[in-house]
Amino acid sequence: MNEPLLDIHVQGKRYGNRPILADIHLQVAQGETLALVGASGCGKSSLLRIVSGLDRDYRGQVLLSGQPVHGPTPEIRFVFQEPRLFPWLTVAQNVAFDAGGPVARHRARVDALLDEVGLHGWAGSANRAP
Ligand SMILES: Nc1ncnc2c1ncn2[C@@H]1O[C@H](COP(=O)(O)OP(=O)(O)O)[C@@H](O)[C@H]1O
Ligand SMILES: [Mg+2]
């Protein structure tokens, strides 16, 4: 078998002294779609946070193309379950945040993305409801 895109080993994950995940070994191939299904609270999000590098407080290792994931990386994207906007930034600043640096540096891309979702004209607005 070719090297998996993701090679996930979680020997243990606890919150405090409460065990959440144990002995998980999961491989994901390039192009494969994988769904984690389980009861609410069984640890799906905890596993995804580990895989995406957002949580490093566990025993085990996650390899992306053979390289250990030590923290968030642009190669692993994470869509949160709830909105994760920065209320103190404008719409355009929220869109540009991931790219890093000021909006002016990413103006064309930001405008194109806002256009795509029908938010043209809202770039300078605060994202918080008035
Ligand atoms: N930051 C945290 N601190 C303490 N307990 C947590 C934390 N996050 C999740 N938990 C607990 O860990 C368990 C697994 O949560 P989670 O991974 O969010 O489950 P799922 O996504 O499958 O619903 C749940 O019992 C939850 O209450
Ligand atoms: Mg969840």
Atom of ligand 1 nearest to the CA of 48: 17
Q: Domain for residue 23, yes or no?
A: yes
Query: pTM for this structure?
Result: 0.79
- CATH value at residue 64: 3.40.50.300
**pLDDT tens for each residue of 48-69:** 999 999 999 999 999 999 999 9
> End-to-end distance of the chain based on CA atoms, in angstroms?
55
Query: What is the model's pLDDT at position 54?
Result: 94
Atom of ligand 1 nearest to the CA of 16: 4
Q: Domain for residue 107, yes or no?
A: yes
> What's the domain count of the chain?
2
Ion ligand 2: protein residues whose beta carbon lies under 5 Å: 44-45
**pLDDT tens for each residue of 67-102:** 999 999 989 988 888 888 888 899 999 999 877 878
Residue 7's Cβ-side half-sphere holds a number of Cα atoms within 13 Å equal to 11
